[in-house]
Each structure stands twice: as C-alpha cells, then as structure tokens.
C-alpha cells in the first residue's frame, strides 16, 4: 500500500473518530433536544405503520379464506367486489375514501363491497392471485368476472357493466 493512501486512510479514520466524539459530546450536552428528536422520529415511524382512518361505507372486512368463501356463498348471484390492499401502499391509502364512497353510492341489493389486507390474509391473496396493490376483483355467482389493478377510477364503470345499481334506484 502506498504511503499516501495509508495517510489518507489514517486521516479519514481520525476525522471519523473526531466527528463521532463531537456528536457524542453534543448528545450529552443537549439531552432534551435529543429526546425530542427521538420522540418526533418515533411518532413519524409509528404513524406510517398505522392503518388509515376508517372512511365508513358498507364494506365487509375479510380476514381469512374461510370468511371469503362464506361471503361469496352468502352473496349468491349478487356482484361482489373485493379490494386487496396493504397498509404500506400509498395508492391503497388514496383509493380507500373513494372505495368507501362507492360502497354507499351503489345499492347493497346489487353489490357487496369487501376488502382485505394482503399482509394479514396472505393465503387469500395467493388464492386470488394478487400481485399488485390495490387490486379490485369482481365476482358474480362465486366466479371472477373482472379485475382492476391500480386504477380505481375505472371501478364504478366496471361495477355498472356487471350489474351494480345506483343506491337511489331499486335493484331489478
């Protein structure tokens, strides 16, 4: 190894030790500021892991394959739409209020709205073939009739295409 590279390595190491020592001294001199910073960092971290607020609506939360199968069976020939989401997914968080509003806008006699967290119900996500979030799948008579990944703006049109009626109108 050349003397110049050894010297620069030693100088870099000394600078790193000096900087670390300075930070340690600063932390000891300002414990309240350090504590405040750690509290803010923790709050941001924990908020990012929390689910978004419940936006209401007529939405059934599904937590397992058994619950999903029971929902499909109880819905008969009625249209069922399911939202596969994840808490860490920004587009899922953006779609949540729109999905809740749609559940109120369509008649519960013609369509059932459901949702499930892909991280909690991994077996269901695998069974339904979920590869992206958010994914909306439409079922009629227990059979998948349509899928929409990512673009929830087209969901209302798909619901109407497959027989969902507006809440203000009576289902046929």
For the annotated catalytic residues, the residue numbers are 89, 92
Same domain, 125 and 104: yes
**Total domain count for the chain?**
2
pTM metric for this prediction: 0.69
Asked whether residue 83 is assigned to any structural domain, the reply reads yes
Same domain, 115 and 72: yes
Interatomic CA distance for residues 162 and 78, integer angstroms: 10
Same domain, 77 and 28: no
pLDDT in tens, 112-158: 999 999 999 999 999 999 999 999 999 999 999 999 997 778 999 99
SS3 30: coil
Residue ranges of alpha helices (H) inside 30-89 are: 31-49, 65-75
């Amino acid at each position: 190894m050349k003397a110049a590279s050894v010297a620069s390595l030693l100088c870099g190491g000394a600078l790193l030790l000096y900087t670390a020592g300075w930070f340690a001294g600063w932390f000891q001199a300002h414990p309240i500021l350090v504590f405040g910073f750690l509290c803010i960092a923790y709050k941001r971290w924990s908020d990012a892991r929390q689910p978004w607020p419940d936006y209401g609506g007529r939405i059934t939360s599904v937590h397992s394959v058994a619950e999903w199968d029971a929902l499909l069976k109880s819905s008969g020939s009625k249209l069922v739409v399911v939202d596969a989401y994840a808490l860490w997914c920004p587009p899922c968080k953006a779609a949540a209020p729109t999905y809740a509003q749609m559940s109120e806008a369509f008649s519960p006699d013609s369509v059932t709205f459901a949702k499930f967290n892909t991280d909690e119900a991994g077996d269901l996500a695998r069974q339904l073939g979920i590869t992206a979030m958010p994914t909306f799948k439409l079922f009629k008579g227990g059979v998948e009739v349509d899928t929409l990944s990512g673009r929830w703006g087209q969901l209302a049109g798909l619901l109407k295409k497959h027989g969902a009626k507006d809440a203000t109108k009576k289902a046929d």
